[in-house]
Chains A and B, each alone.
Chain A
């Protein structure tokens, strides 16, 4: 596997009131280049701490995180690692620096010392990639939450990051904004080959991922295809996660003797399974 990020035996500890807690314990993980990975977990499961270690914002207490083979502990390459692995956070208001959309997108490339003409090209292209080009001269304050988050994503794309790590980017958005962000991420992954690591507690957002990782108590407790994870209703409930209604329905039908495949998660897929089960009953 061609890994863009390797997490090796990482533990992250923090101190509060003289007691040491481990937010992440002895965790190992490989993120494949070009993949779309979703990390699920309830608040306090260690998922945000892990996210911040992926670009060196947090340094592990023990163990190593390698980005393209470079250790995030190396201070000389700190900027390079942050360029390669861009981050988007939860609150759209607290990550926009400039009062004009295009100037905000330019912030990263400007910090990297890119030539002005090249920045102009990158900013325009990045704004088109997230479908926000027509808002380039707007003031972010007047945009919706979903639009602001897309600006934040454009700011990362303009740095030509290879990997995008998003820490609950949709938690503060309405359903429309959430759908916009998830669609944008899938498009960037497909069309630009950008590696996506999406951290969330919304199940539905994991539906089309290549891989879903479930975290609990600082460790990984499941790592599989989305349909496998979703059909494990008991495991999801045990770690305080929601189950999509389709998965819950199929799970409960199976329990009372319906011959349904619990891996079908879309609305039409679930309906199809139910019809199949009813027909087989008929025969």
Chain B
């Protein structure tokens, strides 16, 4: 059974605002336990609006969202409970830090869920260990950390609620390569340890190629494609039409194909590219 299911989700913002229209129209998709889904689409395509529905921050104008088979809006008074099942990490999450210590900040989410005493402490420490927040940081003020460390602590704050589905809105935005790698590792480790479903909004096709099992492509508030990463990237022409692209290495392979080199059309990472070319060089089928 799908852990998360979105049916015919439509969200229109009231009034005609001059802002970037971020509405969503008739989007349906479902996510299986443990898979990684990437959401791509240019700014204003409805990505952010879509993910804010998954934990009930926004209420759909039409359509339903099911978590573990239950409609999350069946009982609007209980909507807060969904937030611990579906965790949402916003862009630049370090701006949400507020407690005096790193420990207290990470404990904020689990505490809101009703955890206390030893159970709470255990949960916070486990989370820290899981994603590598060092013990000596726990009593520090979160405001004294570096940018990358702050981001890690902020993400830990959501992970400490142990969501079954965790959604990231551009988790690596504004970080340098080292910081980006770190965040990717945290996400990977969390999934490996908990078996959670991960949904990531990203602009980096290269990262998506490495990470995502399936890709959900948004365009002008509608779901353009929802398929395996491979099948989506094979559709490079359509992606370009809606202002997106394929990974750079795939672009190189298009050029090779155009020039008559018999390359496979499922090359999205550098490692796969090297393998493919090695095979061709070894004389297989190259005329």
Contact = CB atoms under 8 A, between A and B. Distances in A.
A–B proximity contact (CB within 8 A): yes
Interface of A: 42-44, 90, 142, 144, 171-172, 174-177, 201, 240-242, 244-246, 248-249, 252-253, 256-258, 267-268, 270-272, 274-275, 277-278, 281-282
Contacts of B249: 245-246, 249
Contacts of A240: 176-178
B174 A278 contact: no
Given A171-B174, A176-B42, 4 more contacts: A144-B20, A246-B249, A278-B280, A278-B286
Contacts of A258: 277, 281
Interface in B246-266: 247-249, 251-252, 255-256, 259, 261
Which has the most chain A C-beta neighbours within 10 Å: B175, B206, B261, B281? B281
B270 A248 contact: yes
A183 B257 CA distance: 29
Contact of B203 (A174, A248, A256): A174
Nearest to A168: B174
B108 to A, nearest CB: 26
Contacts of A270: 252, 255
Contacts, number: 87
Nearest to A91: B174
A43 to B, nearest CB: 5
B173 to A, nearest CB: 7
A242 B252 CA distance: 18
Contact of B251 (A175, A177, A267): A267
A271 B146 CA distance: 40
Given A175-B203, A271-B252, A241 B280 contact: no
Contact of A275 (B175, B177, B261): B261
17 contacts: A172-B173, A177-B43, A240-B176, A245-B247, A245-B248, A245-B252, A249-B249, A249-B252, A252-B270, A268-B255, A270-B252, A274-B256, A275-B256, A275-B259, A278-B261, A278-B286, A281-B281
Contacts of B247: 245
Interface string B34-72: 000000001100000000000000000000000000000
A270 B42 CA distance: 27
A92 B42 CA distance: 19
B147 interface: yes
Given A245-B247, A248-B270, A278-B281, A43 B148 contact: yes
Nearest to B205: A175
A256 B274 CA distance: 9
Contacts of B252: 245-246, 249, 267, 270-271, 274
Nearest to B278: A256
Given A176-B42, A176-B43, A267-B251, A44 B177 contact: no
Given A176-B43, A176-B243, A275-B261, A42 B173 contact: no
Contacts of A245: 206, 247-249, 252, 270
B278 to A, nearest CB: 6
Contacts of B278: 256
Contacts of A277: 281
Contacts of B256: 271, 274-275
B18 A246 contact: no
B179 interface: yes
B3 interface: no
B273 interface: yes
Nearest to B206: A245
Nearest to A250: B252
A246 B248 contact: yes
Contacts of B175: 43
Contacts of A144: 20, 43
A278 B274 CA distance: 13
Contacts of A271: 252, 255-256, 259
